[in-house]
Structure 1
Amino acid sequence: MDPLPPYTAVVLAGGKAARLGGQAKPQLLVGGRPILAAVLEAVPDADRRIVVGPPQPVPPGVLLVREHPPGGGPVAAVRAGLAEVETDVVLVLAGDLPFLTAGVVGQLRERLTTDGVLVVDDSARDQYLLGAWRSAALRGALAGVHGPTSLRRVLAPIAVRRWRPDVAAGQPPPWLDCDTPADLARARALAGEGARPQRPAPSVLPRFQEPTDPR
Structure 2
Amino acid sequence: MTGYAAVVLAGGAARRMGGVDKPARPVGGRPMLHRVLAAVADADQRIVVGPSGPLPDEVRTTREEPPGGGPVAATAAGLALLDPATTTVALLAADLPLLTAAAVTELRRALDAPATDQPHAPPAGQPHDPAAEREHDPAAEREHDLAAERKSALTPAGSTVALACYVDADGRRQQLCAVWRLPALRAALDRLAATRGGTLDGAPVRGLLTGVAVREVSWSGSGPPPWFDCDTDEDVRRAEEWSR
What is the distance in 2 between the residues matched to 1:157 and 1:25? Answer: 32
Number of the residue aligned with 1:38: 35
Contact 1:58 1:64 in 2 (8 A): no
- Find the residue that maps to 1:123 and give its secondary structure: coil
More deviation in 172-181 or 138-147?
138-147
- Find the residue that maps to 1:111 and give its secondary structure: helix
**Aligned residue among 22, 25, 33 for 1:25:** 22
Deviation, 1:40, is 0.5
What is the distance in 2 between the residues matched to 1:93 and 1:48? Answer: 13
Greater per-residue strand proportion:
1
1:105 and 2:126 are equivalent in the alignment: no
**Aligned residue among 164, 170, 181 for 1:117:** 164
Percent sequence identity over aligned pairs = 50
The CA RMSD over aligned residues, in Å, is: 1.3
1:75-90 superposed matches below 5 A: 75-86=72-83, 87-90=86-89
What is the distance in 1 between the residues matched to 2:12 and 2:202? Answer: 15
TM-score between the two structures when normalised by the length of structure 1: 0.83
What is the distance in 2 between the residues matched to 1:88 and 1:102? Answer: 19
Deviation, 1:55, is 4.8
Contact 1:39 1:98 in 2 (8 A): yes
Structure 2: segments with no counterpart, 5+ residues: 113-160, 194-198
How many residues are treated as equivalent by the alignment? Answer: 187
Q: Whose relative contact order is higher, 1 or 2, with alpha carbons under 8 Å and at least 6 apart?
A: 1
TM-score between the two structures when normalised by the length of structure 2: 0.73
What is the distance in 2 between the residues matched to 1:104 and 1:191? Answer: 15
**Aligned residue among 54, 59, 63 for 1:57:** 54
Contact 2:24 2:52 in 1 (8 A): no
Number of the residue aligned with 1:134: 181
Number of the residue aligned with 1:186: 238
Deviation, 1:148, is 2.9
Contact 1:108 1:118 in 2 (8 A): yes
Number of the residue aligned with 2:134: none
Number of the residue aligned with 2:11: 14
Contact 2:10 2:52 in 1 (8 A): no
Structure 1: segments with no counterpart, 5+ residues: 193-215
What CA deviation, in whole Å up to 9, does each residue of 1:34-84 have, x standing for no partner? Answer: 011110001111010000002522111100100000010011000001111
Deviation, 1:15, is 2.0
Could you list the structure 1 runs, at least 4 aligned residues long, displaced by more than 4 angstroms after superposition: none
Number of the residue aligned with 1:165: 219
Deviation, 1:157, is 2.1
Deviation, 1:91, is 0.6
What CA deviation, in whole Å up to 9, does each residue of 1:158-215 have, x standing for no partner? Answer: 11100011253xx3210111001221111112223xxxxxxxxxxxxxxxxxxxxxxx
Contact 1:138 1:155 in 2 (8 A): no
2:65 partner letter: H
Number of the residue aligned with 2:226: 174
Deviation, 1:25, is 1.3
What is the distance in 2 between the residues matched to 1:191 and 1:91? Answer: 22
- Find the residue that maps to 2:34 and give its secondary structure: helix
What CA deviation, in whole Å up to 9, does each residue of 1:123-143 have, x standing for no partner? Answer: 211011011111100111111
1:58-73 superposed matches below 5 A: 58-73=55-70
